[in-house]
Amino acid sequence: MNKSASGRVAIVGVGESDIGKVPHMTGLGLNAQAAKRALDDAGLKVSDIDGVLTAYSFTEPYFMLGSVLCEYLGLKPRYNASVVVGGGSPAVMLKHATEAILAGSAETILVCAGENRATGQSRDSAVSALLAVGHPYFEQPYGGSIPGFYAMIAQRHMHVYGTTRDHLAHIAVNTRRHALLHPNAHMKTPITLQDVLSAKPIADPLGMLDCCLISDAGGAFIVTSAERAKDLKSKPAYLLGIGEHHTHEHIMCAPSLTEFGAKESGRRAYEMAGVKPSDIDVAQLYDCFSIVPLIELEELGFCEPGEGGAFFADGRASIGGKLPINTHGGMLSHAHAGAAGGLFGIVEGVRQLRGGLGPRQVEGAELALVHNEGGILSSHCTLILGNQPN
């Protein structure tokens, strides 16, 4: 977006539903719980919401999910849509919300996503529903899987840059360590490097602990103008920069297996915010598989291509390190339930800027970067939040 949009809107409320196995709640119920918590966090009333954005649901695949969610919540907004760019949806929804608010289409927008993926359907049907990401005619007949597609990206990175199996394992261990500091994380037990290396193999080189969780979870945040944000209960997190980039959907059509759209989406976000990678204090990078945050780290300019593995292995990505990554535990250890997975990265970015997170707090965090991606590193959106509007 244009530089003139920098700092003009803010996230003023964030909420997470109960996370893990929540069999007594529906997907819509999890969304509602997260929305209510976000509204309370902002100190707003239901009647203040005049816009709603949501994504999609594999477990409750309603046509017109945006309208269905509004109906469920008893909302009659003047702005509403379902946005489907896979895991990239939450960040893209924040961009759409920003555009709507700056254009005067709405003043206060609820962004919401989540599913009951752990208990709403069997694990096997979750996998077969997700297989729809593979091209129905030219990929699915070969029995590829989502982990398999990401595994090919990992394999290529190892081949070109010498990234190792241990590097990937360090990412899973680091992320789990962070999740243990989060009171609402799905995973509550520590893991070692050896645990990751000896976990059940899924698609070489990826094992079970390199793959994201399957959780019941909903997440929500509330966006309004910077003007309006000043009078609200919680400390605002101002949107300083945001950019997207889309290069393909199916991996067979990806322009490259080592260069993706995060570089371009990041460039746009940095430019709008007027900051550079070294200014960022904390980053929440989409981590559906261990290889993914490594690639994003490199593309977003935090290290050289091929250096990502060492960045995680030597502790630079840990809380207390040079650039703490996925301080909530990411999708590998905090939660993954459809578009809620990336949304929790935004929630955590906001919380880090507010401060007061105890042992999980990144001291003096003023700028947080969040990256969401959807498909097979197909659709990218990068955003930069700050605790000041400029």
Partner 1 sequence: MTKELPIPVTNADSAAYWQAAKNNKLMLRRCNACGEVHFMPRYLCPTCWSEDLEWFEARGKGKVHSFSIIRRASSAAYATRVPYVVALIDLDEGPRMMSNIVGPDALDIAIGDAVTLEFEERGDAKLPQFARARG
- Cβ proximity to partner 1: between 45 and 200 the closer is 200
| Using rule CB under 8 A, residue 298 touches partner 1 | no
Tally of CB atoms within 10 A around 81: 17
HEC-encoded secondary structure of 213-259: CCCEEEEEEEEEEHHHHCCCCCCCEEEEEEEEEECCCCHHHCCCCCC
- The tokens describing 140, both together, are 């699915």
Assign 143 to helix, strand or coil: coil
| Using rule CB under 8 A, residue 370 touches partner 1 | no
**Interacting span for partner 1 (CB under 8 A) from 89-97, 149-157, 336-344, 372-380:** 149-157
Residue 87 carries which DSSP code?
A: B
Residue that has been written with the tokens 């893209």 in this structure: 92
Contact 224, 101 (CB under 8 A): yes
- Cβ proximity to partner 1: between 64 and 127 the closer is 127
| Using rule CB under 8 A, residue 375 touches partner 1 | no
| Using rule CB under 8 A, residue 288 touches partner 1 | no
CA neighbor of 119 nearest in space, from 50, 53, 26 = 26
- The tokens describing 162, both together, are 């010498």
- The tokens describing 1, both together, are 């977006």
Report 238-257 residues binding partner 1 (CB under 8 A).
250-253, 257
Report, in Å, the least distance between residue 140 CB and partner 1: 6
Phi and psi torsions of 219, nearest 5°? -135, 155
| Using rule CB under 8 A, residue 151 touches partner 1 | yes
| Using rule CB under 8 A, residue 132 touches partner 1 | no
Report 109-128 residues binding partner 1 (CB under 8 A).
124, 127-128
**Interacting span for partner 1 (CB under 8 A) from 199-207, 213-221, 329-337, 364-372:** 199-207
Cα 387 from Cα 110, distance rounded (Å): 20
Residue 326 carries which DSSP code?
A: -
Report, in Å, the least distance between residue 290 CB and partner 1: 14
**Interacting span for partner 1 (CB under 8 A) from 29-37, 203-211, 276-284, 303-311:** 203-211
| Using rule CB under 8 A, residue 227 touches partner 1 | no
| Using rule CB under 8 A, residue 164 touches partner 1 | no
Contact 225, 9 (CB under 8 A): yes
| Using rule CB under 8 A, residue 261 touches partner 1 | no
| Using rule CB under 8 A, residue 156 touches partner 1 | yes
Residue that has been written with the tokens 């949009």 in this structure: 5
| Using rule CB under 8 A, residue 152 touches partner 1 | yes
Cα 15 from Cα 346, distance rounded (Å): 11
| Using rule CB under 8 A, residue 105 touches partner 1 | no
Question: Of 86, 88, 120, 147, which one interacts with partner 1 (CB under 8 A)?
Answer: 147
**Interacting span for partner 1 (CB under 8 A) from 81-89, 137-145, 336-344, 365-373:** 137-145
Burial label, 217 (beta-carbon count in 10 A; 0-12, 13-18, 19+): buried
| Using rule CB under 8 A, residue 135 touches partner 1 | yes
Label the pairing between strands 51-54 and 79-82. parallel
- Cβ proximity to partner 1: between 95 and 117 the closer is 117
**Contact positions vs partner 1 (CB under 8 A):** 124, 127-128, 131, 134-145, 147-149, 151-153, 155-156, 159, 200-206, 250-253, 257
